[in-house]
Chain A
Amino acid sequence: MGSTQEEVEVSYDVSNEFFRLWLDERMNYTCGIFDGTDNLEEAQVKKLEWISNAAKVTPEKRVLDIGCGWGANIEYMVTTRGVKDATGITLSRAQAEEIGARKLPGVEAHVISYADFQPEQKFDAVTSICMMEHISTPEQARKGEHISLYRDYFKKVWEWTNPGAHFGLQTILRNRVPRNRTDLRDIGWVTYKIFPGGLSLRLEDVIMAVNPHWEVMEIRTRREDYGKTTGEWLRRLRLNEAAIREKWGDEVFTDYERYLDTCVRGFDKHYQSLAQYSLRRID
């Protein structure tokens, strides 16, 4: 189901040093919130703040971050929100190593799929920033299996949580299929080459799949913010062109340039958007 571990590692295990060159300092690989700022580092902190608020994270809660990347969100929750007990899961071994290297107190990171995860103790708050894109492959969606896969995910998170839990969620949305050859080709290429096995969601998919386990309390879309985020990643990637070509080869540079340029266009032309959600467990 969804992206396999090999596919996830295609997306995230190019090299931690490579991603460090063009992401923000904490390595958020997801959309920031540019309210009142043009600075990527600040925009990422605003995003993390929104998600923690949506999940009602407080210091005494036991928190789970699903698809935790290189640990930016966990680090924020522990250092800024005072969380003392945080668990992250990711399918990427390189990401888990990076989290270990950050030596954060009270933090555990596991290389495991949400599909196999069986925590011994329940959680009081959950966050998940752009992981759901790995749950259904385009082929599964064409067969009409995606809603059940998403619902199964929401059911699992329900089972791992205590009554009263909130869930701060973020997902990329696919809004509209392009009508021109270049954009269709580029989006298809990103889907299969950069994020194999992945597929962004439609807003109505999420609305259908949360039932009967979670109640949608808040939804906010952030299309323009993701355009700015990917635009800034592209700018930083290009600033490091020579170093990237030298260390990881020409193909890595040209592939990532094409991918990020496609994202900027995709958000600008409404092919893609982004949504943030606050969900409450239906007890």
Chain B
Amino acid sequence: MKAMTGTRGLVLNEPFLWEQGARGRTCFSMPRRDVDPCPLKDELVGQGPDFPDLSEVDLVRHYTRLSTWNFGVDTGMYPLGSCTMKYNPKINEKMASLPGFAGAHPLLPAELCQGVLKLMYDLEKYLAEITGLPAVTLQPAAGAHGELTGMLIFHAFFKARNQQRSKILIPDTAHGTNPASAALCGFKSIPVASNDQGVLAPEEVAELMDEETAGIMITNPNTLGLFEDNIKKIAGIVHAKGGLVYADGANMNAIMGIVDMSKSGVDILHLNLHKTFATPHGGGGPGSGPVCVTKNLEKFLPVPRVIHQNGDYTLTYDCPESIGKLHAFYGNFGVQIKAYSYILSMGAELKKASQLAVLNANYIKEELKSVFHLPYDRACMHECVFTDKFQKPYKVTTLDIAKRLMDYGFHPPTIYFPLVVHGALMIEPTETESKTSIDLFIAALKAIAKEARESPELLHEAPRNPKMRRLDETIAARKPCLAG
């Protein structure tokens, strides 16, 4: 076996910002004062916030040290299921920071911002091509924001028909944002159980779908990493009752160039540019969650829309049936630039990316299914879901396995999700991991499975290599301390 990457190194401690510095230090090159002081009225003036004064070196050391306590995709394999932690190309970072983009004011007259409008227009076009759904808005700032946009469109669609529908079908494998987004629009979630194959059965949907139900929110491929192969039939059932089909496209990385969402019967779909389209996740965001819809639903998309007329690009607010606006301006444009650069760099090879993502996941599934319990033993898409059932006899849990992976130098998979699988370990390698790194990951998990049998305390005590040992989440929640 090749040497594992996980090891210990010199890690430096670092106090809080406000435990450092000295009044009068500065890290800011103050612009020249070329006008006279003009004091504000005393009654308006406050104390000013109690911030520390730091030097430039103080600040640089602080954040450099903090950064070394983190694990990113650039550090190593990050097989966090449902999150598509693929490599984030460096060139895209440069593109987003070009002065013409980074310095652009959002309210510039159209004639002064043709560059960004063309970029947005073309990105919409590319996303339409990739999904098969012809009309696109880039405004949602993340996946859940896209879901909200979709649910607002559901609401507007029924309102326009003078119908109030109160329910929505949501599979039990769905991400928590799905029911939460539906609830914001007043829809009560009706859970739909997946069948013993891990997918939705049309009969189950037919049973629940009625004219009080606005439609269905379905993740495809679903969070078990399986393609919902009855999608077309299910869409037929939902449409027959006047409902709409929303697809959570967080897992689009499995099917680019292969599936046509429109042909599958989907009316509305959101994408996560910070997953499928290689934009970095930033330790929590910013993301971008464009929404793609059928021609019929285009009129409901948020304003403004980018239009192209006589060679000029403009933003139009003249959309009387639009649901309105979800963001002050046009969403996370800086993220859109990175996704656009990625699409231009990949072209039709996006299909190859999906194929290799699926290949990597199936390879891992086959290699590991003898040591970890695989609840749905069938071909998977871009991710595979195991459980801790085989490790139970040794009192080893999914959490222990995840923590032990850190010692070996890997980011753990997503754990305890989807909820329908007890003790889930959801592994999404993505296409940018080579066979070499995947083989090492497999070797690490096999070694961990062996440890679970032979010396489970190694797992219970994990992790040992990172800066911190396991953290007490109960105390954090019981006695919240959210600011220093």
- Decide whether A and B are members of one complex: no
Binding site for A on B (CB under 8 A): none
Binding site for B on A (CB under 8 A): none
